Amino acid sequence: MDASLVQARGAGGTICYGLLRSVTVHTLESADRWRLDAARSRYLDAVLARTGELADRLVTSERSATLRRIDHEMPHVRAAFGQVCSGEEVHRSTATTALEAAVALSDYWLGRHPAEGMEWLGRLIVAADPPAGLRAEAQIRRGHLAYWLTDFAAATDILTEARQIFVGLGDRLGEGRALRRLGAVAAATDDVVAARKLLEESIVRLDEAGVEVETGTSLLHLGSLLADMGVVAAALPAWSGPSLSRRQAATRWPGATPSPL
């Protein structure tokens, strides 16, 4: 195989085949333009589909192996994202798919390349000009990466935009998540008063959305904040009952200031 025009390489139990570089260059130089465009389009579609498939595996028991596989395939992912952002003619639906793939890779960006992930999300938002809901979701993920990178000013601006979009859409779940992330940013910058208010507002919105697991997450954030503030007795209910409703939390936390319902 090594003496032929095709090379085989193994990684993680998977065999990958590729042409020698000289063959690749000759093909690119001699092929018709329409054939090249068609090949690039097929390549782009294949990489984006593969990226989405791998992103789905990040929330399974195959997470560790999937992270390594994405590491191995990142040159293709970067090439695909770069093609979408290059200014070349790319169908809007393809650009939207690329943005969806970048959003789905949020856990990967967070653990491996937060700055790169934040950059790709920003560039793909511009390239795709996505619907409001997808833009807000992408901005939430981008804002979290900015928070992770301790760029708190950028995180605040990005998350505030996401919140405003969710408000305009009437999406209480999205707004509640954005408020929670804004609360985390405020806490990280030692503005505990603002952090507490934002987290309490987050709980209200998530209660209205009726998603207990999200409400529980915000309750745990608020409980940790109250403990850091020294209001330990008020924090305990959050840790003992993470799915408490906002009204229950207000009743059981004498130190908390309820937000209007």
Answer yes or no: do 116 and 154 share one domain. Answer: no
pLDDT of res. 226? 86
pLDDT-derived band at 260 (thresholds 50, 70, 90) equals very low
The domain tally of the chain equals 3
Answer yes or no: do 18 and 123 share one domain. Answer: no
Domain containing residue 253:
131-261
pTM (2 d.p.): 0.79
Answer yes or no: do 15 and 116 share one domain. Answer: no
Residue 13 phi/psi, 5° resolution?
Answer: 85, 0
Arithmetic mean of pLDDT, 90-103: 94
Rg (CA), the chain: 23
Answer yes or no: do 148 and 239 share one domain. Answer: yes
Q: What is the pLDDT of residues 213-230, one digit of tens each?
A: 999 899 989 988 888 887
Answer yes or no: do 184 and 95 share one domain. Answer: no
- Which residue pairs from 220-225 have beta carbons closer than 8 angstroms and sit at least 24 positions apart in sequence? 221/180, 221/183, 221/184, 222/183, 222/196, 222/249, 222/256, 225/183, 225/187, 225/192, 225/195, 225/196, 225/199
pLDDT of res. 174? 97
Q: Which of 98, 129, 160 is the last residue of a domain?
A: 129
Q: Which of 94, 129, 164 is the last residue of a domain?
A: 129
- Residue corresponding to tokens 């409980």: 223
Q: Which of 129, 160, 179 is the last residue of a domain?
A: 129
Answer yes or no: do 238 and 135 share one domain. Answer: yes
Q: Give the length of the chain.
A: 261
Answer yes or no: do 104 and 73 share one domain. Answer: yes
The CATH code of the domain that includes 209 is 1.25.40.10
Which of 84-88, 199-203, 248-252 has the largest mean confidence? 199-203
Answer yes or no: do 138 and 253 share one domain. Answer: yes
Q: What is the pLDDT of residues 240-258, one digit of tens each?
A: 554 444 444 443 444 443 3
